[in-house]
A and B are shown apart, each in its own frame.
Chain A
């Protein structure tokens, strides 16, 4: 079956612009996670969805970051007024439930110039 997909695969944007990153989880997976992988910081957790609700937003680095999930499926991570330090690979993962095995998408490489 289809795995986790993310789009776009690459995004180059100018500082100050807004960007939207999309994640399509594995069908039927209720839990969805966003992570960020940047040089020098490793992989860090951003936000978790159970269904359409986000009970844990503790990893979002600033109020410029927001995310939503609709229909218990697709999720969008939005970064407003992008800064150069936002440059990273943004990874999405889904699982059949919180705490179960997580499956990752290929990531979106964001470059802010």
Chain B
């Protein structure tokens, strides 16, 4: 059974800092891994999807890496802005349906 863990649970940084969010998973036989953003009271917004054959995926100031052998993924946010404040979730597919197993999230606050 896939288990996903995210560290830290919460993070507060001043505007402009670069930061790294961590995600680990127990079953390395994954097809891909997705990072999401969730704003309070809202649904999930897909940020990046990394295929198992990739090591990195970039979108704007976001860069996600995937190391299947160690069961880890990181989300790097460059030059953080107050608008980046949200909860960030990573999720790995598992089971025959490839349903997503989610971590508990990292609540990010970027202080102006």
What residues of chain A have their CB less than 8 Å away from a CB belonging to chain B? 33, 35, 42-43, 45, 48, 50, 55-56, 58-59, 91, 93, 98-99, 101-107
Contact = CB atoms under 8 A, between A and B. Distances in A.
Q: How large is the interface on B (under 10, 10 to 19, 20 to 34, 35 or more residues)?
A: 20 to 34
Contacts of B32: 99, 101
Interface of B: 31-32, 34, 36, 42-46, 49, 89, 91, 93, 95-105
Contacts of B45: 104
The B contact surface, by secondary structure, is strand
A35 B44 CA distance: 11
24 contacts: A33-B97, A33-B99, A42-B105, A43-B91, A43-B100, A45-B95, A45-B99, A45-B100, A48-B97, A55-B96, A55-B97, A56-B99, A91-B43, A93-B100, A99-B98, A101-B32, A101-B34, A101-B49, A102-B34, A102-B46, A102-B100, A104-B43, A104-B46, A106-B42
Nearest to A50: B97
B34 A105 contact: no
B100 A91 contact: no
